[in-house]
Amino acid sequence: MTLSEALAALGRGDTSVSELVASLWRRIEELEPSVHAFVSLGDPEDLVRNANSLSQRPLRGLPIAVKDNLATLDFPTTCGSRILTGFRPPFDATVVARLKAAGAQVQGKTNLDEFAMGSSTEHSAFGPTRNPYDFDRVPGGSSGGSAAAVAAGEALAALGTDTGGSVRQPAALCGVVGLRPTYGRVSRWGLVAFASSLDTVGVLARSVRDAALIMSIIAGHDPRDATSLPLPSQDYTQGLGEDLTGMRIGLPREYVPEELSTEARGLVERWCEAARDLGAEVVELSLPLTEYALPTYYLISSAEASANLARYDGVRYGLRVMGERVAEMMAATRTAGFGREVKRRIALGTFALSAGYYDQYYGKAQRVRTLIAREFEEAFAKVDLIIGPTSPTPAFRIGEKEDPISMYLSDVFTLPSALAGLPAISIPGGEVEGLPFGLQLIGPRLSEEKLLRAAHALERALS
């Protein structure tokens, strides 16, 4: 049952919150030992008891899972890192507070790559999450716990975060819907920072309608977030159900490279044919700067991470490993608290920001980022949306991509739009090698309404 279907059933009196919670916990008891989507869970009896006072609100007391890099008053927030073991924030992130105000309850916190740095959810201090379709494979990352929980039926919907593709790529690999809004459309207040100019809170759900429903609740201006756009929220479920008549959709040749498998290419052709059947015109275009997105992203995001993660020093909160002097204590704390991937990115970012290399690396990456954004602007002067695969491959095996570059290439199709701050969505597009394969739609800034409308139409056509 999708979140929307659950709400409709509650409205008709066909089910109750207690029955829905019991159903979710049966799935958790059955699958969670294998999937490991959650790092902490609420008490189902408390959820049922609290639902009575929330029954008149839009979400009627239903539980929603939350990625463990979003601050929650009632649960620890660890970011999948030893350095924040047991840390409990004194407040809720804005998106969590807005869900609660709408009548939702936090079901639990989901696993992630440490500090959201990864594409497989293998880099968590609490162990990897596994793909519900095949326990030997990854769920994608870094929001792999949220995607796996939704795909396994352990959660009706979940919040995730997308810095370079961390909502869309796991959605694709787990066969669910993943929405990344325009940068600034959803408040980042209470999101533990990885790369501040890229981090975006997104939604993982079982349908486009569910993603639109959650987006309607969490979007809108937040004066506590300096990057929040001064725009009100709206009902993004309006317009769902319309076809694509009059819409021009672009297929970049760079998003269908020769390396893409024959089976995946066949799916892309099927998507384009479905769009045409719905009334859209599909045209080929080129985004030649796509190949520069990966090095640009990793320079910028690692540089911002090296600055953001400097606050974890063992002095104020989290892990502390004692030393004879303050500097020794900080070094020992960070050595013990951070995992290998986080250390790798801090080292890269610190080097890119160091004297003598700033302009050569970080400065140049920012200039390329501007060029990528301009390239998208030129493309959207010709088309309404861009279509293509979310990830170049379906879910890979746990431990298969030990080389960091091969892991980073998993996000090659999601990084360009992230650098440009654009909204994008991944929906189930079929199967490759018997595993889910995601269809990605990218829109111009603030085009969530159009993006969701097209995604909903294609979702129905491809289902």
Residue 402: what pLDDT? 86
Q: Of these residues, 67, 100, 401, 450, which one is catalytic? A: 67
Residue 292: what pLDDT? 98
Known active-site residue 109? no
Contact 51, 61 (CB under 8 A): yes
Domain boundaries, the chain: 1-463
Q: Of these residues, 119, 124, 143, 166, which one is catalytic? A: 166
Q: What is the pTM of this model?
A: 0.97
Short-list 185, 21, 213, CA closest to 94: 185
Interatomic CA distance for residues 455 and 203, integer angstroms: 14
Interatomic CA distance for residues 229 and 231, integer angstroms: 6
Q: Of these residues, 142, 187, 301, 391, which one is catalytic? A: 142
Q: How long is the chain?
A: 463
Known active-site residue 187? no
Interatomic CA distance for residues 187 and 167, integer angstroms: 16
Strand partners, 283: 250
Peptide bond into 286 cis (omega under 30): no
Residue 17: what pLDDT? 97
Residue 463: what pLDDT? 85
Interatomic CA distance for residues 15 and 112, integer angstroms: 32
CA 104 to chain centre: 20
Contact 417, 372 (CB under 8 A): no
Tell me which fold the domain 1-463 belongs to: Amidase signature (AS) enzymes (3.90.1300)
Residue 86: what pLDDT? 87
Q: What pLDDT tens digit does each residue of the chain (463 aa) get?
A: 999 999 999 999 999 999 999 999 999 999 999 999 999 999 999 999 999 999 999 999 999 999 999 999 999 999 999 999 889 999 999 999 999 999 999 999 999 999 999 999 999 999 999 999 999 999 999 999 999 999 999 999 999 999 999 999 999 999 999 999 999 999 999 999 999 999 999 999 999 999 999 999 999 999 999 999 999 999 999 989 999 999 999 999 999 999 999 999 999 999 999 999 999 999 999 999 999 999 999 999 999 999 999 999 999 889 999 999 999 999 999 999 999 999 999 999 999 999 889 999 999 999 999 999 999 999 999 999 999 999 999 999 999 998 889 999 999 999 999 999 999 999 999 999 999 999 999 999 999 999 999 999 999 999 8
Short-list 175, 232, 182, 215, CA closest to 3: 215
Q: Beta-carbon neighbour count of residue 447 at 10 Å?
A: 19
